[in-house]
């Protein structure tokens, strides 16, 4: 873990309230993150906020975060101008990719997307691609959809890639209506040996319970909630 500073170098509005933010952080050469870890912003005395990495290099990291209007942290971060310097700590967290060459299923909602996407990138970077991968992801409405091209591109790298996307509050061609936990049935999960979950506490709890009901041992389920 490094106590360091990082500089905002790029800001892109992905949806009405989700931003892609890229930071330079030369100190990462001293301690590289693992796919699934997060950075902690120290915004003010007593005000710390943590966000999972969606990507990183030897000296940069990328976040995909939701701007919550009434929040104390995300507006400060998302409203910042390119060139703004922040203080914080990186890398943190234990929700990390297991570098095992086995089939993996990633299930997430909202900006729980970030660590799961980072973990899939990590598989590619480690050449863990000769296997089956599923990405089951959900948002509320069409206006909340992002990174569709990026997901399609990463899927090309695996032997078999199953991408299922859900909308919980609207319908759209090519998307399933409902919740990501609807996908968790015996037939669907039987092809996968490890499961990575990230999203709201309710979603994570429901997904874990369903997986365990179908006989998936707890040591094959890795999760983080926000």
Are 1 and 31 in contact, with CB atoms under 8 Å apart? yes
- Of the pLDDT bands very low, low, confident and very high (cuts 50, 70, 90), residue 26 is very high
d(CA 149, CA 220): 29
Mean pLDDT value across residues 112-137: 97
In tens, the pLDDT along 201-226 reads 999 999 999 999 999 999 999 999 98
- Give the model's pLDDT for residue 218: 95
Mean pLDDT value across residues 24-34: 97
Strands (E), 93-156: 104-109, 132-139
- Give the model's pLDDT for residue 226: 85
At residue 170, φ and ψ (nearest 5 deg) are: -160, 175
Does the pLDDT value for residue 128 go beyond 90? yes
In tens, the pLDDT along 64-121 reads 999 999 999 999 999 999 999 999 999 999 999 999 999 999 999 998 999 999 999 9
Mean pLDDT of the chain: 97
- Please give the structure tokens belonging to residue 177: 């209506």
Percent residues over pLDDT 90 in the chain: 99
- Angle between helix axes 113-125 and 148-155 (nearest 10 degrees) is 30
Domain ranges of the chain: 2-92, 104-225
Mean pLDDT value across residues 26-51: 97
CATH architecture of 2-92: Beta Barrel (2.40)
How many helices (H) and strands (E) in the chain? 5, 12
104-225 maps to which CATH number? 3.40.50.80
Return the closest-CA partner of residue 159 out of 103, 209, 219, 105.
103
- Of the pLDDT bands very low, low, confident and very high (cuts 50, 70, 90), residue 28 is very high
- Give the model's pLDDT for residue 189: 97
- Of the pLDDT bands very low, low, confident and very high (cuts 50, 70, 90), residue 130 is very high
DSSP code of residue 144? G
């Amino acid at each position: 873990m490094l106590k360091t500073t990082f500089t905002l170098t790029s800001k892109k509005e992905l949806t009405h309230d989700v931003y892609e933010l890229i930071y330079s952080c030369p100190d990462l050469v001293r301690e590289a993150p693992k796919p699934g870890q997060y950075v902690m912003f120290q915004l003010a005395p007593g005000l710390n906020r943590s966000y999972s990495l969606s990507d990183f290099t030897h000296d940069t990291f990328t976040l995909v975060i939701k701007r919550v209007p009434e929040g104390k942290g995300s507006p400060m971060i998302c409203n910042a101008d390119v060139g703004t310097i922040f203080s914080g700590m990186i890398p943190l967290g234990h929700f990390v990719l297991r570098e095992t060459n086995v089939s993996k299923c990633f299930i997430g909602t909202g900006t729980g997307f970030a660590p799961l996407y980072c973990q899939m990138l990590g598989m590619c970077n480690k050449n863990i691609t000769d296997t089956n991968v599923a990405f089951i992801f959900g948002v509320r409405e069409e206006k909340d959809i992002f990174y569709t091209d990026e997901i399609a591109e990463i899927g090309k790298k695996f032997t078999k890639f199953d991408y299922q996307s859900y909308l919980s509050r609207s319908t759209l061609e090519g998307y399933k209506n409902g919740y990501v936990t609807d996908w968790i049935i015996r037939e669907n999960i039987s092809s996968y040996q490890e499961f990575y979950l990230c999203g709201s506490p309710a979603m994570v709890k429901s997904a874990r319970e369903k997986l365990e009901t179908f006989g998936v041992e707890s040591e094959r389920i890795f999760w983080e909630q926000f």
